[in-house]
Amino acid sequence: MRHCLAISLVLVTGCIIDLVVDRRDDAGVTAETTAATGDTTDGTVDCDGDKAMCAGKCVSLASDPNHCGECGEVCADDEACDGGTCVTSCTGGRTKCDRRCVDLSTDDGHCGDCDVECGDLETCEAGMCECVASLEKCGDRCVYTAADPDHCGECFRSCEGDPCGFGNCQPGGCPEGTTACGLSCADVETHPLHCGQCDDACEDDKICIDADCDNP
């Protein structure tokens, strides 16, 4: 019965069937175009700030060499994306690195040189990777010496199994007013790696003030 009904529809309402097929084709083209460009208009994905959704990722149209100015606009290998335009050279004292125009004095991904990337808990200052606020460089690590059991009060001063709090080893346990986060006696009101609670670290450009990550 289903076959008979289908034949009748083709004979009697062929124009309607054609219209449905045409609409499906149009939908297919739209889907392919969306997949290729990454352009979404259904509002299901929101990108932060000035970023846009391209090919399933949030990118900066002002600086992304693969989506420069608009999704899918690719700069040549010898060009950089600057302000949404593919350029052959960078201005304003900036340097072309990875097809982007960057300031080597402040760019965490290209600090002092195109091939130098600052590590975790570091930021680029005057072309040098420095520890973020409140942390101190001990060897190749940025640590909070006020509560680090391996660098308690100063670099390489170990508490040998005891917790560290207020820059001193605490053999009797963490003192009142601190929270035991492993062997770190953290003042969660100010600790940048345990802000408000254990393991709640502030972003690199923030410090912990009154148990909340904020601008310095």
Range of the structural domain that residue 127 is part of: 103-132
Q: Does one domain contain both 111 and 152?
A: no
Does the residue 108 lie in any domain?
A: yes
**From the centroid of its chain, how far is CA 200?**
17
How many residues does this entry show for the chain?
216
Q: Amino acid identity of 81?
A: C
Alpha carbons 5 and 104: distance in angstroms, whole number: 72
**From the centroid of its chain, how far is CA 156?**
32
In total, how many domains does the chain have?
Answer: 3
Judge contact between 119 and 141, C-beta under 8 A.
no
Q: Does one domain contain both 91 and 109?
A: no
Q: Does one domain contain both 197 and 138?
A: yes
Confidence (pTM)? 0.62
**Final residue of a domain: which of 111, 132, 153?**
132
Q: Chunk the chain into consecutive blocks of 10 residues (it has 216) and report each block's average pLDDT, rounded to whole numbers.
A: 37 35 33 36 60 91 94 95 94 94 95 93 93 88 93 96 95 93 93 92 85 86
Does the residue 4 lie in any domain?
A: no
Spell out where the chain has E strands: 51-54, 57-60, 80-82, 85-87, 95-97, 100-102, 122-125, 128-131, 136-138, 141-143, 164-165, 168-169, 179-181, 184-186, 207-209, 212-214
Alpha carbons 61 and 135: distance in angstroms, whole number: 34
Does the residue 192 lie in any domain?
A: yes
Judge contact between 184 and 147, C-beta under 8 A.
yes
Query: Helix 14-37 crosses helix 2-12 at what angle (to 10 degrees)?
Result: 90
Q: Give, as one character, the DSSP assignment of residue 107.
A: -
Q: Does one domain contain both 197 and 148?
A: yes
Does the residue 23 lie in any domain?
A: no
What is the CB neighbour count within 10 angstroms for residue 163? Answer: 24
